[in-house]
Amino acid sequence: MLLFSRQGKLRLQKWYQAITQRDKKRITREIVSTVLSRKSKLCNFLEWKDLKIVYKRYASLYFCAAIDKDDNELITLELIHRYVELLDKYFGSVCELDIIFNFEKAYFMLDELVLGGEIQETSKKNVVKAIAAQDLMQEETEAIRGVLDEMGIP
């Protein structure tokens, strides 16, 4: 899964196969340039090497997934849409800056949706609950850390 801007800046990447860093950079560069060079009226699916690329543009961000030739493009497009809905729900109309400054939340939401490259959770309600629980845990940890700092305990 790749998220990138209209200018080609990579904002988030999640790989579900072991690939070297060098190959990741090459693949990312090729996919980003291919998707950005396509006209907006063209289909959101394209064949690339032995994979299918499914992408969708939301505002200034492209959400892109590479899937096997046998996988269903529409389910992947729905997964991308579900992810965007979750981001919108959490951030309130998500924008590129939300992803840049809160990338850990964006990764957490993606991890709640997809595990090992397969859809893990389809319920938006369950994902939102998990995110709320994680936020609460983070706030409690920060509060405890603040108390310990006040006491002089590192």
d(CA 10, CA 29) in angstroms, rounded, equals: 9
Q: What is the pLDDT of residues 69-99, one digit of tens each?
A: 999 999 999 999 999 999 999 999 899 999 9
Give tens-digit pLDDT for 34-57.
999 999 899 999 999 999 999 999
In 6-151, the DSSP E strands lie at 10-13, 45-48, 51-58, 61-68, 114-115, 118-119
Interior angle at CA 135, CA 134 and CA 136, nearest 5: 90
pTM for this prediction: 0.87
